[in-house]
Amino acid sequence: MKELAALAQPGVLSNPTTHVEYLTFVLKDQWFDMEEINDALSQLLGIGKSILQKDLTSNLTVSMGFSANAWPILFPDVALPEELHTFPAMKNGRREFPSTAGDIFLMIKSERMDLNFQAAKHAARALSQIADLIEDIQGFKYLDNRDMIDFVDGTENPVADERVEAVLVKEGDNRGGSYLTVQRYVDRQGLWDQQTTEHQEKVIGRTKMDNIELDESTKPAWAHNAKSKVEVDGEEVKMLRQNRPYGNAMEHGTMFIGFAETPSILETSLTQMITADEHGHYDRLLDFVEAKTGANYFLPPMAFIEDRFDD
């Protein structure tokens, strides 16, 4: 597993940091020559390396993902990753997961907000000739890794070899790469605050103060951690959530950053969440949060990035 882990972009397997910046770019509607594309993308690798040198303890990483739309334009000589496709919009009842624009996705993680900003600023400038920056979200660690509705997030994330097993492609030319689904959620804070702590705990499926999973006899079928869990032949299939809250007192929410070996795991989880079953049960957390974006990306292995972009 160590050999496989070494192939991945460093930010894919590492834990969420105190600060993170998520940048979504859309390719410009024009013809590009490959020299122009490679020049823009090659600058990204240098930006990350240079800014990290300012403070090695910051653990700064710049992870790059590319959409199904962007891949044949940016890498016309490389086959599209086998399972890379546009995020499928989902709707059930009043609940909706939109499919939104996004061709290049950057996740800049570190322990310093200022270094993240500097990297983001230079990355936006580097890509400005080929792509427009349409969303720039600054996430952060909130209390003891809680989301803005005050429950701990990411408790069930896999660790060590289990993480590598869950996240990375293991065979073929894309070995060491990973699939990513990104959604930005906005909290309906006022409605959430009207609920009792007991009901909030049933919605999440864990206790609020101590972050203990509710007993199966107590946890409802519509709890978030029940509806989002993916099982195959009775065994749970893991994904890695690098979620972080974002925003301010006026508007805030969570960036869902889900990595997996295959996008089908992520989409199965989301389908279970949004779809009411024969008993009318869906993920009741969706009564209190609203998805604003949805996009899929593939993060190729580090060797792919270095071979194409390293000057």
Distance of CA 284 to the CA centre of its chain: 21
Residue whose C-alpha is closest to residue 255's, from 147, 143, 100: 147
In whole angstroms, what is the distance from residue 180 CA to residue 284 CA?
24
Tokens linked to 76:
């016309």
Residue whose C-alpha is closest to residue 154's, from 48, 278, 255, 37: 255
Q: What SS3 class is residue 180? A: strand
In whole angstroms, what is the distance from residue 34 CA to residue 74 CA?
8
In whole angstroms, what is the distance from residue 73 CA to residue 34 CA?
9
Residue whose C-alpha is closest to residue 223's, from 268, 274, 283: 283
For residue 19, which phi and psi values (nearest 5 degrees)?
A: -125, 145
Catalytic residue among 103, 147, 153, 187: 153
> Would you give the end-to-end CA distance of the chain in angstroms?
29
Dihedral (CA of 136, 40, 306, 51) sign: negative
Residue 153 annotated among the catalytic residues of the structure:
yes
Which residues are annotated as catalytic? 153
